[in-house]
């Protein structure tokens, strides 16, 4: 079962976007610095939505201007439309992510468009991004369930995923927006997407732990052949438009599980756990991730033992 997986870190954007208190640009840059030091190479740093939508991300331009640039690190920004794409191009960001939902109701509430309107708009955004030699990731939200509609037909997930892939998206991230997925559904969706002609090396899983199943779902996706998984350090974040949504899969928990399984992640587990522990301290509250707490407790016990 040994293999290699790739972790895509979303904490600066998806993690912080619905924090009650606006996190300062300096604190975000410190978080990003910790992630880079821990070996993360794909980090979603912000979103070019209208600042009034998500005050947490209104510092997008400044943040991107101040990013510590490294050849091996890819910084991603969410772009809802052509205007967002233009702002990403202004910031000389080479990697952008689009988003729409697999379910009609969530798509309407999230972006105030029908799914067909979103697909038409995203085709233009993706085509323009590719002309500009950008790398494009496209999120398919509510791919494993919709908070408004419940179960989402797998055919709808396949149709949207395939349309985005054919539109030129380099990567498709299937999002379990409110943690409604289960290991069997994850297998069914992944197999259906692959059977529809979207190669699994273009598929990522973006799981939320709202109902406790994120790691089990990630394991199921791994067993089904997916090798890219999204995480948010310490499990911070959720979807501001989805009732009940909270807690992305905790990155350090993913990294720990895969490392323990003998699956290479390229991430330093201690560095990831430390970054999660520091973020919990910065935000001044308990964060849902498990491993960073275990890691911190072990260090405290070890220190006590040494001084005893």
On whether the CB atoms of residues 34 and 274 are closer than 8 A, the answer is yes
Residue holding tokens 């430390």?
274
Which residue number, 129 or 234, has a Cβ lying nearer to a copy of itself? 234
Give, to the nearest 10 degrees, the angle between helix 269-283 and helix 25-37.
Answer: 170
262 versus 284: smaller Cβ distance to a copy of itself: 262
Q: In whole angstroms, how close is the CB of 102 to a copy of itself at the nearest point?
A: 18
Cβ of residue 11: shortest distance to a copy of itself, in angstroms?
16
Distance separating the N- and C-terminal Cα atoms of the chain: 42
Label residue 169 exposed, middle or buried (CB < 10 Å: 0-12, 13-18, 19+): buried
* # chain residues binding a copy of itself, by CB under 8 A: 38
| Stretch of 4-12, 53-61, 156-164, 254-262 lying at the interface with a copy of itself (CB under 8 A) | 254-262
60 close to 23: Cβ distance less than 8 angstroms: no
The pairing of strands 203-207 and 171-176 is parallel
Which of 36, 97, 239, 242 is labelled catalytic? 239
User: Residue 301, interface with a copy of itself (CB under 8 A)?
Assistant: yes
Active site residue 146: no
- Given a contact cutoff of 8 angstroms between Cβ atoms, the answer to whether 105 and 146 are in contact is yes
Residue 268 touching a copy of itself (CB under 8 A): no
Please report, as residue ranges, which positions from 194 to 253 form the binding site for a copy of itself (by CB under 8 A). 209-213, 215-216, 218-220, 223, 243-244, 247, 250, 253
- Regarding 9 and contact with a copy of itself (CB under 8 A), the answer is no
The residue with tokens 């407790």 is 297
Cα 187–Cα 164–Cα 229 angle in degrees, nearest 5: 45
Query: 275, exposed or middle or buried, with CB in 10 Å at 0-12, 13-18, 19+?
Result: buried
Among 256, 267, 272, 279, binds a copy of itself (CB under 8 A): 256
Residues belonging to the active site: 239
- Contacts with a copy of itself by CB under 8 A lie at 1-2, 179, 181-185, 187, 209-213, 215-216, 218-220, 223, 243-244, 247, 250, 253, 256-257, 260-262, 286, 289-291, 294, 297-298, 301
């Amino acid at each position: 079962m040994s293999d290699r997986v790739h972790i895509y870190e979303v904490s600066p954007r998806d993690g912080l976007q619905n924090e009650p208190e606006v996190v300062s640009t300096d604190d975000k840059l410190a978080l990003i610095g910790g992630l880079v030091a821990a070996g993360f190479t794909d980090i979603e740093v912000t979103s070019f939505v209208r600042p009034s939508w998500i005050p947490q991300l209104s510092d997008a331009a400044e943040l991107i201007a101040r990013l510590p640039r490294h050849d091996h690190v890819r910084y991603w920004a969410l772009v809802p439309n052509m205007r967002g794409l233009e702002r990403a191009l202004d910031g000389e960001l080479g990697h952008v992510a689009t988003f729409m939902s697999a379910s009609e109701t969530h798509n309407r509430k999230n972006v105030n468009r029908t799914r067909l309107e979103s697909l038409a708009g995203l085709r233009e955004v993706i085509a323009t991004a590719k002309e500009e030699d950008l790398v494009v990731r496209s999120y398919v939200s509510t791919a494993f369930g919709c908070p408004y509609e419940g179960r989402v037909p797998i055919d709808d997930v396949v149709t949207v995923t395939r349309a985005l892939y054919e539109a030129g998206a380099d990567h498709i991230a299937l999002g379990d927006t409110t943690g409604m997925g289960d290991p069997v559904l994850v297998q069914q969706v992944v197999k259906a997407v692959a059977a529809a002609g979207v190669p699994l090396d273009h598929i990522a899983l973006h799981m939320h732990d709202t109902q406790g199943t994120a790691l089990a779902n990630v394991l199921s996706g791994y067993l089904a052949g997916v090798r890219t998984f999204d995480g948010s350090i310490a499990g911070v974040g959720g979807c501001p438009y989805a009732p009940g949504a909270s807690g992305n899969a905790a990155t350090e928990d993913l990294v720990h599980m895969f490392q323990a399984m003998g699956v290479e992640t390229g991430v330093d587990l201690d560095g990831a756990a430390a970054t999660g522990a520091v973020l919990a301290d910065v935000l001044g509250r308990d964060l849902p991730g498990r491993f960073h707490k275990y890691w911190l407790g072990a260090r405290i016990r070890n220190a006590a033992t040494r001084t005893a």
